[in-house]
Structure 1
Amino acid sequence: METGRIFITEKDYLRLTNLMGSHTDHNFEDLEIELDRASIISDNDVPKDLVTMNSKIKFLDLKTNKDSIITIVYPQNSNTNEAKISIFAPLGSALIGLKKNQEINWKFPNGKTKSLKVLEILYQPEAAEDWHL
């Protein structure tokens, strides 16, 4: 895990905490830690370079030098064939709240630590004014 500063919108924070409360069969420890350390920002003041829910991003695995494109979604919308990764998945929890060019070291359930870097925000609902997402 990383202790660098992350940000989350009020709407995302409320939705995620409510969703975690209704899914008592999951372990949300990593996501809870991320939400606890996040600075909550107004939905109207979201920087365009911030990873929010439903953002499509390009990131780099710094150890393998492999880049990937994913969209971070709510669990009901996850689809690995479409690279839609649940916020409850370790990768989703690792990248939420980061900004472009920000890096994080994240320990995955298999015990391996990955160093990840956000390269680009390809789509962000707030920047596109897609308030319905």
Structure 2
Amino acid sequence: MHATIHGERTLTDLDFARLSKLPEHQLPPALAELLDCAEVTSSRAVPGNVVTMNSRLETVDLLTRRRQTLTVCYPADAEPAVGLISVLSPVGNSLLGLKVGDTARWLAPNGEACAAEIAAILFQPEATGDYAT
């Protein structure tokens, strides 16, 4: 079960620093790859259409067209039943750093390939002036 990284991804310097401090044995391979390859920018300069930590977004499943509201969060805050998705999960790390219009791709626990388009960012901490979340 893992996420696949496609295309360019952007992380804020704060997100990069916090995720880089996680113990290496906790990092899924796709998140470790993202940390190695992502463009890192200042929290004040990140565009408002980029998924950052604690962003709430709307996705559209490419197969079923089902819309879902998700928040990418740290593991301690995860509650999948209410849409709080850990960045360490395949879905969470496939969304982080993408922008509106991009497609996130990951493998479900049963090995099924999944994909969802980021339809909208409903809340991004940095866009509201919160540079410390």
Match status 1:49 vs 2:52: no
Other structure's SS at 1:53 match: coil
1:2-41 equivalent positions in 2, closer than 5 A: 2-21=5-24, 24=25, 26=26, 28-41=28-41
Q: Normalising to structure 2: TM-score of the pair?
A: 0.89
Other structure's SS at 1:19 match: coil
Preserved contact between residue 50 and residue 98 of structure 1 (Cα < 8 Å) = yes
Preserved contact between residue 55 and residue 71 of structure 1 (Cα < 8 Å) = yes
Superimposed CA distance per residue, residues 28-77 of structure 1 (whole angstroms, 9 cap, x where no aligned partner): 21211222221111111110000000000001110111110011111111
CA shift, 1:87, in A, is: 0.5
Distance of 2:77 and 2:58 partners within structure 1: 19
> Structure 2 regions of 5+ residues with no counterpart?
none
Distance of 2:53 and 2:95 partners within structure 1: 10
Other structure's SS at 1:71 match: strand
Other structure's SS at 1:126 match: helix
1:48-127 equivalent positions in 2, closer than 5 A: 48-127=48-127
Preserved contact between residue 20 and residue 28 of structure 1 (Cα < 8 Å) = no
Give the partner amino acid of 2:55.
Answer: S
Distance of 2:52 and 2:27 partners within structure 1: 21
Aligned positions, number: 130
Give the partner amino acid of 2:126.
Answer: E
Preserved contact between residue 12 and residue 40 of structure 2 (Cα < 8 Å) = yes
Distance of 1:40 and 1:77 partners within structure 2: 24
Change (3 A) 1:30 1:109: farther
Which runs of 4 or more aligned residues in structure 1 lie more than 3 Å from their structure 2 counterparts after TM superposition? Answer: none
Preserved contact between residue 30 and residue 93 of structure 1 (Cα < 8 Å) = yes
Other structure's SS at 1:72 match: strand
> Structure 1 regions of 5+ residues with no counterpart?
none
CA shift, 1:112, in A, is: 1.2
Give the partner amino acid of 2:75.
Answer: P
CA shift, 1:27, in A, is: 5.0
Q: Normalising to structure 1: TM-score of the pair?
A: 0.89
29-38 or 11-20, which deviates more: 29-38
